[in-house]
Chain A
Amino acid sequence: MKRILKIISYLGLVLTIVPSLLVFKAVFDTKVHYNLMIVGMVLWFATAPFCMRSKSLDEKEQ
């Protein structure tokens, strides 16, 4: 399950950056880029909190 969430979260990051490259290459127009970035954002925030663990400094290192 965690692996699937991780893959979806990475997909979210891909959808955040790749559309801008395609706008630069004139494949997309800006509107598509804006919409895909929203999709990427939703995917990232829907999955990353469940598969990313961040330690505070007071926690012991495993």
Chain B
Amino acid sequence: MSRGQKSTLIERLDALYEYEREPVTKDKLHGWKTFIAMFSGEHIAGTEFVLGPLMVMHGVSTRDFFLGLLVGNFLAVLSWALLCAPVGVKTRLTIYWQLRRICGPYLTIAYSAFYAIILCLLAGAMVNVAVTAVSIPFNIPNPDFAAGEVIPTVPWILLAVIVGAVIAALAVLGFEKIAHFSKICAPWMVLVFFAGAIAVLADIGCSSIGDFWRVANEKIFTGIPAGLNTKYTFWHVMGFAWLCNATQHIGMADITIFRYAKKWTQGFASAFGMYLGHYGAWVCSGILCAAYLAAGNTNPQPGNIALFGAGFAGAVCVVIAGWTTANPTLYRAGLAIQVATPNWKRWKVTFAAGVFMVITACIPAVNANLDRIVGYYGLFFMPLGAFIFIDIWVFPKLGLISDYAQKAKLMISWPATFAWIGAFLFSVFLYGKDHYGWLSRLLEGKQPAWLANIKADLLFLVAPEWIVAVTLYTIFSVIQQKAAGTRIQTQEVGQ
């Protein structure tokens, strides 16, 4: 690619986000109510019907599940409130413009491209969830990945294509209206989750509240993994609850939202999303899954378990939960992809993203491994948020220049590039050495004892990777700024 083409790409990306280039003004700030409503709505999604059952299938015990979610979600809330919201309130900029200042335009483009891919993947997972309910009245069986069905039947794929096309069409026609509709659905969806779970408790032998813990231990969170699933402990649950939105909190993607907050303390509004969605809804979907299996059924797909617990309203809830979350996800993916396709109309871009979404929806392995995918996604984007945090709060105290890429007019920040790659590879290595066959064989007998003793799951690596990321970024930045040897005015370019 020539330099001319590269600069055109940057110009296009800048133009796409031009309208949000300026910091949010004081008259547009919002109070607690808006943030509480937003977090409560966004974290009751279709994928909640997948993640609760996944924990059940991984044989988590009752104590580990409840305590792990309590601590993990608390860490997530603290990450929003203490790391993300203060940055959003201080700079009042979107993640795009903040990254551009610190990492330079090329790395921001890379971020957008990778983000588009993962958003399509997540939208596909949500379409899959919706199709598991839509398929029921047509008597089309949902693919059972645990039983070895790696590709759905042709009628199921056709249904996924239809549902995906409708979602893509709606994403083109009216993103705002559907965002509003999803907020209306939120209170009802929360209650459907709870109603379904409460109604099936008697089926598994729970006749009073005092009985719940015993029944949960014996019938729901039994501590025994199903099939070939690995065993999850307190640490897995806690790590997953913290990691599953890491891109948004530690990764700082939500500074785009918090730039509208009046005070940084509004970051604590995330507790409503975490404890309703990632605590209440996961517990409920776990209960539904266990009751569904205890009734002699197999293949606990979201549509099936919701229908089992809440009847037709439950199936509708699954469709709406999948649809209302797939829609904005696809819209945002389209926005990111548009950078690379300048001459395409928005509808063409969204449909292109929609094709990728439908393909993903037709791969049952995606939802069966959603916890792993979400784990990789969180660990991949998290270092960039770590750089933003350090750059804003710590660099001035160390005598280093913040927003160096912008002030030195760099196209790419090499400290950010190498620290990003280094931190992510650190996690991949620590996890992969015991879990990737090729890497285990390569390292056989060659690891020092201390390294061999570290048995890290992907879900344990949030904090270690954050520390590695900020350490590498700080060291590289010291080298860069010392080597530059020139004084750069600390005033912002163009001001």
Contacts and interface: CB of A to CB of B under 8 A. Distances in A.
Contact of B179 (A13, A45, A56, A60): A56
Contacts of A60: 27-28
Nearest to B27: A60
B188 interface: yes
B213 interface: no
A33 B309 CA distance: 10
A28 to B, nearest CB: 9
Interface string B164-203: 0000000000001001110110011001101111110110
Contact of A54 (B31, B37, B196, B260): B37
B199 A30 contact: yes
Nearest to A31: B311
A58 B183 CA distance: 16
Interface string B245-273: 00000000000010010000000000000
Interface in A1-49: 12-13, 16-17, 19-21, 23-24, 26, 30, 33-35, 37-38, 40-41, 44-45, 48-49
Contact of B184 (A35, A40, A54): A54
B76 to A, nearest CB: 21
Q: Is the interface of A mostly helix, strand, loop or mixed?
A: helix
Contact of B311 (A24, A38, A45): A38
Contact of B34 (A13, A19, A61): A61
Dominant SS among interface residues on chain B: helix
B486 to A, nearest CB: 40
A41 to B, nearest CB: 5
B311 A33 contact: yes
B444 to A, nearest CB: 53
Contacts of A44: 188
B23 to A, nearest CB: 14
Contact of B199 (A20, A38, A56): A20
Contact of B195 (A12, A17, A49, A58): A17
A20 to B, nearest CB: 4
Contacts of B201: 24
A8 B407 CA distance: 58
Nearest to A22: B199
A46 B263 CA distance: 36
Interface of B: 27-31, 34, 37-38, 176, 179-181, 183-184, 187-188, 191-192, 194-199, 201-202, 206-207, 257, 260, 310-314, 316
A-B pairs, 4 with minimum CB distance = A34-B311, A20-B195, A37-B313, A20-B199
Given A19-B199, A21-B198, A37-B310, 10 more contacts: A17-B194, A23-B198, A24-B198, A24-B199, A30-B311, A44-B188, A52-B184, A56-B176, A56-B180, A57-B28
18 contacts: A12-B188, A13-B188, A17-B198, A20-B198, A26-B207, A41-B313, A45-B184, A48-B187, A48-B188, A49-B181, A49-B184, A54-B180, A56-B180, A57-B28, A57-B34, A57-B38, A57-B260, A60-B27
